Structure 1
Amino acid sequence: MSNICTNCDTANSLDAKFCKSCGYSLPKQNSVKEVIHTETETDKKVIKKKSNIPAVIGSVVGFFAMYFLVQSFFNNDNSIDKEMKAIADELNKTCPVQVDEYTVLENTVALPGKVFQYNYKLISLDKSEVNLDTVRKYVYPGILENIKTNPSMEPQRKRDVTFKYCYKDKNGAFVDQYVVKPNDYK
């Protein structure tokens, strides 16, 4: 530490009252103890500022990590979901398709999480005319057998796709739904 002359910029000792080079009156300096104390306070401020840097960096990194995590959660558009959407779009180009004298496939939907949904309409039946016990006795086994044996469903079976079959009556009222999970068809 030194006392710098404001006239000629010469470094002088802290206790000097006049510049050793030009004799100019030097500004009064604090005692060594006061200077050390002041530097310590300044150092504390610098240390405090430096200690905030990791916290700020950590916060920024945490924010971006959370952002990408949330994005990946809400935009979980993995390859199987994309493939199923393409299949649904292709099938929907031919819909509606009459499956038999009672049923029309209105459309298909690829849902997130490897779920493929078929939406059917019972064209000549009202919900009140449907005997659910009879329908379940004959429809579900046929659906399950088709999933198990249909060669065109092999890629979905290998990827553990869940199949949903939704039925509405002629007026569009919900009648019944069948969900076939991988454990059911394997």
Structure 2
Amino acid sequence: MKSKLKIILLFIVGIISITAINVLRKDSAEHDKNKLIDNLISEDRQEQKQEPFANYLQKVSDDTNKKCPITINKYTRLDNTHILSGNTIQYNYTLVDFEKGEADIKLIEKEFTNTILNDVKTNPKLKILRDKNITITYYYKDKNGEFLYNFKVTPNMYK
């Protein structure tokens, strides 16, 4: 009788253990599923937060392009802007009195790099771009449309 009782008790303990393990597996799977759903919702919210700014950035580009070409000074003209991938806006300039063969590219790079970086860091009009960690690319060509210089300012450079 004692041995029959032990077998029954072991059988019951075994069933309870198997049931507990299955419940824990289900809870773990449910937890993982809920965590995945939470992550997807969080990513979706991030995209929704970025989407309006992406629209804003495109609007800024479109509005600027409606005014282009814009004479910046007697040497420089802003031709247009483009929104590139990776939260990047590109400003396309022409140096109206320079030809590639005549221009000292090294001097242009040296002078423009410091001037551009300082402008991105301090220009109040660019604050919204700095706040949103936008990369700003400055693309320069000569009066004949030949590429001269390209400078990319990343958030790491202006923060």
Aligned to 2:101: 128
Name the structure where helix makes up a greater proportion of residues: 2
5+ residue gaps, structure 2, are: 1-43, 45-49
Structure 2 Cα separation of the partners of residues 111 and 83 of structure 1 = 14
Structure 2 Cα separation of the partners of residues 126 and 176 of structure 1 = 12
Aligned to 1:112: 85
Output the TM-score relative to the length of structure 1. Answer: 0.57
Output the TM-score relative to the length of structure 2. Answer: 0.66
RMSD across aligned positions (CA): 1.8
- Quick one: which of 84, 101, 112 aligns to 2:74? 101
- Quick one: which of 121, 129, 135 aligns to 1:162? 135
Q: CA deviation at 1:138?
A: 1.0
The reply on whether 1:145 has 2:154 as its aligned counterpart is no
Q: CA deviation at 1:112?
A: 2.4
Q: Select the structure of larger CA radius of gyration.
A: 1
Quick check: 1:109–1:117 contact (8 Å CA) kept in 2?
yes
Structure 1 Cα separation of the partners of residues 123 and 86 of structure 2 = 22
Aligned to 2:154: 181
Residues 131-150 of structure 1, C-alpha deviation per residue, up to 9 Å, x if partnerless? 11111111111111111111
Identity of aligned residues (%): 37
Structure 1 Cα separation of the partners of residues 121 and 67 of structure 2 = 24
When residues 80 and 113 of structure 1 are mapped into structure 2, their CA distance, relative to the original with a 3 A threshold, is farther
